[in-house]
């Protein structure tokens, strides 16, 4: 199979969109858990990305 430039661009855009969706879902889940009382350490131990945990805390601080 040969990827044309168009196919490659479409593929890359699809991967980026999927990554953005996954990141948004992870941020929403981390935010929800922090609101429930989870600590940063617990989130990190559960496999959340440190950048997501930091962003979730910043988001909640900005909203309060």
Q: Please enumerate in sequence order all residues whose Cβ is within 8 A of that of 53, keeping only pairs 6 or more positions apart, or say none.
A: 30, 40, 43, 44
Query: pTM value?
Result: 0.71
Q: Specify the pLDDT at position 48.
A: 94
Q: What is the pLDDT of residues 25-63, one digit of tens each?
A: 999 999 999 999 999 999 999 999 999 999 999 999 999
Q: Specify the pLDDT at position 51.
A: 93
């Amino acid at each position: 199979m040969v990827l044309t430039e168009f196919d490659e661009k479409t593929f890359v855009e699809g991967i980026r969109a999927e990554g953005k969706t996954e990141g948004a879902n992870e941020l929403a889940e981390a935010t929800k858990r922090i609101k429930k009382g989870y600590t940063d350490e617990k989130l990190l131990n559960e496999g959340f990305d440190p950048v997501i945990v930091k962003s979730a805390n910043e988001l909640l601080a900005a909203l309060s």
